[in-house]
Structure 1
């Protein structure tokens, strides 16, 4: 079993840590972004189409359920059915 004190710094240990300067932070961000595997144009187009189709299907399901439950409520409670 590992020592939990080493994994989570106490509040006193956090205070002794020095803040990262802005230029250092920027360099670290740029270094991390260079490690990212960016999608190709074809992958991006495929992902966009998949997401678009999914959203359209979910909109259709939601609209259908809304219409169906609305008509059901008008039928149950005897309101005017438009």
Structure 2
């Protein structure tokens, strides 16, 4: 099967693909506003803690390198 034939077959499947997408989105359980705010807070706190952790590690490694190089 050539490229154009495969392209044509894919285009014919397009409408059914989008119908399937809409059907699947109807099955999704969307979070409430309260849940969404809670989850967002958890993500922000986690990202902040990880950023602070890596900043401390980076500072420590740079201090060790300065001691080794004697600068």
TM-score normalised according to structure 1 size: 0.70
Name the residue aligned to 2:46. Answer: 54
C-alpha deviations, 1:30-57, integer Å up to 9, x for none?
Answer: 0001000000000000000000000000
Distance 1:31-1:20 versus aligned 2 partners, 3 A rule: farther
Work out the CA distance in 1 between the residues paired with 2:40 and 2:30. Answer: 14
Paired residues in the alignment total: 62
Task: Indicate the structure whose relative CO is greater, using CA pairs within 8 Å and at least 6 residues apart.
Answer: 1
For 1:24, the equivalent position in structure 2 comes to: 16
Query: 1:20 Cα deviation (Å)?
Result: 6.0
Displacement of 1:22: 1.2
| From 32, 56, 63, the counterpart of 1:64 | 56
RMSD (Å) for aligned C-alpha atoms: 1.6
Does structure 1 residue 41 correspond to structure 2 residue 33? Answer: yes
Give 1:73 shift.
0.7
**Which structure's residues are more often helix, by fraction?**
2
1:75 is aligned to 67
Larger of the two Rg values belongs to structure: 1
